[in-house]
Chain A
Amino acid sequence: MNLNGTLLGQMIAFGLFIWFCWKFVWPPLLAAMEERASKIEKGLKDSEESAKKIIEAEEQSKKMIAQAKSEAKNVLSNAKAQSEKIVEDSKAKATEEKNRIVTSAQAEIDKEVVNAKKNLEKDFATNVMSAAKKIVGKEISETNHGDTIQKSLDDFRK
């Protein structure tokens, strides 16, 4: 039970153990633990930030979709209006063309009718004259019978 040299031996041993712990145990372990702590902290911060970013991105995408929808609507309505306008225009043009063609055809027809009448008049007059010559057998001059012929021509015209 008495104190003896063991005391000194134990003091040396204790000093050595403390020194070892001081040099080789405490600093690396504590540094590693602190490194992990900071890593965890950073990880948590990062995840929080990315969660925020995801929410932002979602909002942005919603906005973009809405915008695209309204744009599409605009485009559609524009296209509709344009096509209607094109149809209207072409209708108007076609009507105009039709009217033009119809009037020109009418004019032609009118002209043809006048010509035909003239030719018919001419032919008829000649035919009548020759027929009348055959029937009468005598000369019919214009000077003598011109009035009669003119009268029949006027009747024919009617």
Chain B
Amino acid sequence: MASESSGRTFQEYLEHHLQNLVYGRLPEGHERKFYAKGETDEEKAAYCQDGKNMDYDGDKYCKETLTEDGWYLANNKTDLEAMGFWAFNIDTLFFSLLLGSIFLFFFINAAKSFSLEKPTKLQLFIEMMIDFVNGVVKGTFKAGQNSLVAPMALTIFVWVLLMNLMDLVPVDLIPYPAEEIGIPYLKVVPTTDLNLTAALALSVFILYLFFSIKNKGFIGFIKSITLHPFGPWMLPANLFVEVIDMLAKPLSLALRLYGNLYAGEMIFLLIAGMVMINFETLTIAGVGLNLAGVTLSLIWAIFHILIVVLQAFIFMMLTVVYMNMAHEKFEQH
């Protein structure tokens, strides 16, 4: 299995791939643990001593008890729990910002060097995207005028699409070399991190609330969540239904994208688990398993292209729909 090359069991391989690179604050007295590399106890002890200036626990790990507070990269679940909320997923932030910057770079470039008569192929592609998003927004967002909706839809579509596309990069291609140069964990698909999808959904939700109150007025907004769908005499029931309906929006938005991409990534990992790298122990059955793994990986990747685009589109579409609802003068039921 692919996991054998790094000396892990398949279970550990999966967990390793599904863990973000988290940078956070660890309190005094916290015990940090590292997986000790090496064959014999002496090698492992030397690894702990030389590399990290830590003690070897005699079994698998190097250990260290912190004497003061400090910011560290998390190495295991206990580290994560000790860090709490104030921790940052470096990999998610890095890749999402990188991809977002790539998006802005190409689009701003296209806007600057826009040629009416002689468009480049890249410009035509970008125009196609703009046209597509503009069509969706014009077709869906009819309740009011808001110059923010179309650019937001474009940002969401292209950014989420780029982040989803990272899922098609072979699962070990980036994390494995990264581990070799000392980055313990790396998740390359930002949309498989609930933090990112929740951040997008929450931002959309805040804008939804903002534009709702701005367009309906505070009184109008309160009315819209209390007087429907049953009329004023059933106010508590109305409030209950409307609040659940409202909270379901960001929740479903965040979980749909996260769930789809996380599941997709998981399947890639499971398929990757079928493929052996250690050629010395390769058997006939192993060759068959390898071929099956490669084939399945290809089939899933092709199918996943559909999911990747579809999820980006759904996120954008629902955002536009919610913005439209925020601009409706009278709620229709």
Interface residues of A (CB under 8 A from B): 1-11, 13-15, 17-18, 20-22, 24-30, 32-33, 35-36, 39
Contact = CB atoms under 8 A, between A and B. Distances in A.
Given A9-B88, A18-B152, A26-B150, 8 more contacts: A4-B24, A5-B88, A10-B92, A11-B199, A11-B203, A17-B104, A26-B130, A30-B130
A28 to B, nearest CB: 4
A10 B89 CA distance: 10
16 contacts: A6-B195, A7-B195, A7-B199, A8-B199, A10-B96, A11-B199, A14-B199, A15-B203, A17-B159, A18-B152, A18-B155, A20-B104, A22-B148, A26-B151, A32-B111, A33-B131
A68 B147 CA distance: 65
Contact of B116 (A3, A29, A39): A39
Contact of A7 (B18, B131, B154, B198): B198
A27 B154 CA distance: 12
Residue from A5, A10, A26 with most neighbouring chain B CB atoms (10 Å): A10
Given A17-B159, A20-B104, A33-B131, A6 B88 contact: yes
B89 A6 contact: yes
A35 B100 CA distance: 28
Contacts of B85: 3-5
Contacts of B148: 18, 22
B89 A4 contact: yes
Contact of B88 (A4, A33, A35): A4
B155 to A, nearest CB: 5
Interface string B211-240: 000000000000000000000000000000
Dominant SS among interface residues on chain B: helix
A29 B103 CA distance: 14
B80 interface: yes
Given A6-B199, A11-B202, A21 B152 contact: yes
Given A32-B116, A33-B127, A33-B130, A21 B107 contact: yes
A17 B183 CA distance: 28
B194 interface: yes
Interface in B220-268: none
A17 B111 contact: no
Interface in B265-323: none
B219 to A, nearest CB: 28
A20 B152 CA distance: 10
A18 to B, nearest CB: 5
A3 B131 CA distance: 36
Given A20-B104, A33-B127, A4 B116 contact: no
Nearest to A25: B107
A4 B92 contact: no
Contacts of A35: 116
B155 A29 contact: no
A17 B163 CA distance: 14
A8 B154 CA distance: 21
Residue from A25, A28, A30 with most neighbouring chain B CB atoms (10 Å): A25
A29 B126 contact: yes
A33 B111 CA distance: 10
A151 B327 CA distance: 157
A19 to B, nearest CB: 9
Residue from A20, A27, A29 with most neighbouring chain B CB atoms (10 Å): A29
Contacts of A26: 130, 147, 150-151, 154
A6 B126 CA distance: 30
Residue from B20, B83, B147, B203 with most neighbouring chain A CB atoms (10 Å): B203
Contacts of A17: 100, 103-104, 155, 159
Contacts of A14: 155, 199-200, 203
Given A3-B85, A4-B24, A4-B86, A25 B151 contact: yes
A4 B22 contact: yes
B67 to A, nearest CB: 25
B111 A29 contact: yes
A39 to B, nearest CB: 7
A29 B115 CA distance: 10
B195 A25 contact: no
Nearest to A2: B80
Contacts of B151: 18, 21-22, 25-26
Given A3-B198, A33-B130, A25 B88 contact: no
Nearest to A33: B127
B108 interface: yes
A148 to B, nearest CB: 135
